[in-house]
Amino acid sequence: MTRGKFIKGISKRPSWEIADNEVTPQSVFSSRRKIIKSLGLGSIAASLPGYVQAGIFDLFGGEGQPDFVTSTLQFANNTQFQATDEKTPYSKVIRHNNFYEFGTGKQDPYVNAQGFKVNPWQLNISGLVDKPLQLDYQALFSKLPLEQRTYRFRCVEAWSMVIPWIGFPLASLLKLAGVQPSAKYVAFETLFDPEQMPGQRNRLMGGGIHYPYVEGLRLDEAMNDLAFVAVGLYDQTLTPQSGAPVRIVLPWKYGFKSIKSIVNIRLLDKQPPTSWNQLAPNEYGFFANVNPQVDHPRWSQASERRIGPGGMLAAERIDTQLFNGYAEQVANLYTGMDLRTYF
Ligand SMILES: Nc1nc2c(c(=O)[nH]1)N[C@H]1C(S)=C(S)[C@@H](COP(=O)(O)O)O[C@H]1N2
Ligand SMILES: [Mo]
């Protein structure tokens, strides 16, 4: 298997470039330019910082030059985990996000997170482990072999995507640290940096969440083959809005469990508090397994809108599957549990 590493020099390109070349026919592209010109936005926008320009241009479907630059990653395909559903285009994956540290609107992270500094970074693995670990930015991409997996991703708000992630199994990372027998749970924590994350400074902008954003898993869930640590998507390092430089991905659970931009992983003997559960315990459980039969108190979970090339407006409504279609891999984790009680 190829060791993940950066291809130096030529690979540096703004995440932007892939987005448009990939999905936008040239004709649509140039008509957008005309609209922007006719509105006289061109000259005004030119004087604004890149990420603000991106926000303005995005109103027209996505033009502009975000400040954030990604790098191409080397990885091996894991053929065992390739959802056959049509992939959500890169341009949609990075423009429709939930990352309340940067605002609650779906485009807020794309606009507000572009200046986010991801290097240097430190991810600590501590608690009930034999060898506490510190991974710096470079180690995130080199400590473990990088692999690619295409997963379905289902938000509790009933939209979904299909995303090719790059990273490594969470179990591999935990094994490096040596999990002690007394460990029963894993707690995750996002960076707390109100200077960089406006949602952490402003309660309204941050959606009322008590920061830092925290999440957790039972140890057997964390050790399941599907539990993934992502450092990239498509063939690039993560952009800030997707949780750069490192996030968790749990495809059988609602999206809020897939915590972004993490700095701490702690092995514990007790169940840790989790952000959405603390905010509204009757609406968001600790387990949060995708389940079409257990509705959210305010909406049905029986179906979802799958975001494809046409974005949210053109998204097709499809049936939601138990455990998001991953029952074969994870159902055994919950044998004997009432999934209505443990939602
Ligand atoms: N730190 C942090 N992690 C987070 C969130 C957040 O607001 N803050 N939002 C969650 C929610 S609700 C979802 S649906 C997914 C969205 O991931 P995506 O934007 O990459 O699709 O991230 C999850 N992880
Ligand atoms: Mo979500």
DSSP 73: B
3-state class (DSSP) for residue 123: strand
How far away, in angstroms, is 53 Cα from ligand 2 center? 27
pLDDT at 44: 42
CA–CA distances in Å: residue 96 to residues 54, 90, 91, 140: 14, 10, 9, 25
**Nearest atom (ligand 1) to Cα of 260:** 3
**Residue 220: its H or E element:** helix 219-222
The residues that bridge with 154 in the sheet, in sequence order, are 160
Residue type, 121: W
22 is in an annotated binding site: no
- Near ion ligand 2, which residues have CB within 5 Å? 98, 155-156, 255-256
pLDDT at 66: 65
Q: Are the CB atoms for 274 and 216 separated by under 8 Å?
A: yes
How far away, in angstroms, is 277 Cα from ligand 2 center? 13
pLDDT at 65: 55
Of the residues 88, 90, 96, 99, which should be mutated to test ligand 1's pocket, given the most ligand atoms within 8 Å of the CB? Answer: 99
Q: What is the pTM of this model?
A: 0.84
- What is d(CA 296, CA 294) in angstroms, rounded to the nearest whole number? 7
Mean pLDDT by 10 residues, the chain (343 residues): 34 37 32 38 43 42 66 97 98 97 97 96 98 98 98 98 98 98 99 98 97 99 99 97 98 99 99 98 98 98 97 96 98 97 97
pLDDT at 160: 98
Q: Pairing state of beta strands 122-127 and 262-268?
A: parallel
Token pair recorded at residue 251: 């495809």
- What is d(CA 294, CA 277) in angstroms, rounded to the nearest whole number? 16
Domain limits of the chain? 20-332
CA–CA distances in Å: residue 307 to residues 20, 226, 241: 17, 22, 17
Q: How far apart are the first and last CA of the chain?
A: 38
213 C-beta closer than 6 A to ligand 1: yes
**Fold of the domain spanning 20-332:** Sulfite Oxidase; Chain A, domain 2 (3.90.420)
- Residue 341 has a CB neighbour count (10 Å cut-off) of 9
